Structure 1
Amino acid sequence: MNSAIEHQLHHRTIRAFTAQEIPATTIDTLIDVARHTATSEFLQAFSVISVTDPQLKKAIAAISKQTYVGDNGHLFIFVADQHRNAQIGHEMGQDENKVGGTNKFLAAASDAILALQNTVVAAESMGLGTVVLGSILNDAGQLIDLLHLPQLTFPILGLAIGYPDQEPQYKPRLPKKFMHFENSYQLSTPLIPQLKAYDAEVHEYYDLREANRRVDTFTNQVNRSLLNVPEKRHELLQLLHQQGFLLE
């Protein structure tokens, strides 16, 4: 066990930040961490947008339906970006490319996700709190317009960081036996009886936590999510096509 692992094992999502401003040097350091993340084929097919305009932050908060996104803290949007690589090819006389294909899109999305996670680890090691925002895809079309994203780019995740203004409890994680297998996938069924103890742990967490208490279990959450797709997310494939991806 070391300090880096301690930070990761004690990760908590922070949704309330103080008004303390994050120094520009800290933002620069976090961007440097993102830049040095592992990348597929060394194509570095991602970009990061810092959202500093208050009105733009409010618009993104409305998309995410998370009001705190427009409050204190710093907002990053991590973008899968094959536009830059296509432009390099164009300037070298190569206009035919495969960067809009599924393979290259997944590589760019992976680059963006890995960079975000590295940024989270770095931010938390500096005493900052973080919240990852998949909710920016609630209206990806509007977000693309707001950020003026060109062809062959796509927003993947948002990340809000700041100095914590809350201390939420640690959320219990799924036991290892349901997530880690050796040599082959080995999930045994039925699952519900095996998850009884974990459901009880999650129920206790929701019942005792300081904010937004509710009666719930892990299996109930999963069951509710199976058909729950926010309205605008039905447009994601169409928007990926619009941005030049997954057309093969």
Structure 2
Amino acid sequence: MIRNQTTIKQVTHRTIRAFKERTLTTDELEMIKEVASQTATSMFMQQTSILHITDRSKRDKIRQITNQEYVGKNGDLFIFIADLYRNQQIRQQLGKDDGRLHKTDIFMQAMQDTVLRVQNVVNAVESMDLGAVILGSINNDPFALLDVLELPPLTYPILGLQVGQADQQPQLKPRLPIEFTFFENTYQRQVDVKQMSDYDQLVQTYYDLRAANRRIDSFTKQITSQKLNCHKTKRDDLWRAIQSQGLCRD
């Protein structure tokens, strides 16, 4: 198996949720900006932007939305945005209409660009011996988030990212065995939950630092838990929030 400095960092990735009381240095921040800007982009449309949230009030409000006390507490907080607004302005100022900018296809391209940018930045952060946590929880209340961020039309916040100097050493969280997630040519439709028993036992030995060092449920119990049961949450407003920004109107 090929091992180098990069792949070792990747296969030993740990999510960090506790950061020391320091912000990024100028050099660290500039490297993050450069790495983000060089991330692959669909059709060279470059339909993504980043908000660096340094305003304490905004950080507090985002923390309330996520319902995660570590969000915005220490380290640096970034919001990664699918951004079609910039290209709309270019088209309009050059005498063109919005074209396909309101189509789901174009939003999906922007979202993919944005997610790639997040992972690229995480790789860079970890290469600098810093830690990171990706924050899907920013969309726990989509309309509240849009209000906090004061975003223009044709933009939407996809993920948050908090980075900084790690102040914890979490365990390596066990992932599904490769045979359940990697297939050659044809998707393997036969899923036998009994074959996941060993993995379930492994997961149950993992301590999740978000729950005060308590062990977590097995993987299959998590999949059959309230997480995926039918229940109303503010995340159900995601589609309406996206469309309220003029996106996915087809």
- Shared fold by TM > 0.5? yes
Q: Measure, in 1, the Cα distance between the counterparts of 2:7 and 2:100.
A: 39
1:230 deviation in Å? 6.4
Partner SS for 1:226: coil
Q: 1:16 to 1:106 in 2, by over 3 A?
A: same
1:235 corresponds in structure 2 to: 237
Structure 1 residue 207: Cα displacement: 8.7
Q: C-alpha displacement at 1:209, in angstroms?
A: 10
Look up the equivalent residue of 2:134 and give its one-letter code.
V
CA contact (8 A) 1:206 1:216 kept: no
Name the residue aligned to 1:222.
Answer: 223
- The separation in 1 between residues aligned to 2:80 and 2:209, in whole angstroms, is 34
Unpaired segments ≥5 residues, structure 2: none
Alignment of 1:29-44 (within 5 A): 29-44=31-46
Distance across 1 between alignment mates of 2:105 and 2:221: 35
Matched ranges for 1:147-226 at <5 A = 147-189=149-191, 191-206=192-207, 211-224=212-225, 225-226=227-228
CA contact (8 A) 1:19 1:73 kept: yes
**Preserved contact between residue 60 and residue 69 of structure 1 (Cα < 8 Å):** yes
Q: Which moved more, 1:199-208 or 1:127-136?
A: 199-208
| Percent identity between the two aligned chains | 45
Q: TM-score, normalised by structure 1?
A: 0.95
CA RMSD in angstroms, aligned pairs only:
1.7
What is the rounded CA distance, in whole Å, between the counterparts of 1:208 and 1:216 in structure 2? 14
Structure 1 residues 145 and 215, CA gap change in structure 2 (3 angstroms): closer
TM-score by length of 2: 0.95
Deviation of 1:210 after TM superposition, in Å, equals 9.4
Q: 2:203, 2:216 within 8 Å by CA — same for their partners in 1?
A: no
Match of 2:91 in 1: 89
* Equivalences, count: 247
CA spacing shift, 1:100–1:208, aligned 2, 3 Å:
closer
Identify which of 13, 16, 21 aligns with 1:14: 16
SS at match of 2:146: helix
Q: How far 1:25 sits from its partner (Å)?
A: 2.1
Measured after TM superposition, the shift of residue 229 of structure 1 is 5.8
Q: 1:28-83 CA distances to partner (integer Å, 9 max, x unpaired)?
A: 21011011000000001000000001111111011001111121100000000011
The unaligned stretches of length 5 or more in structure 1 are none
* Structure 1 residues 161 and 230, CA gap change in structure 2 (3 angstroms): farther
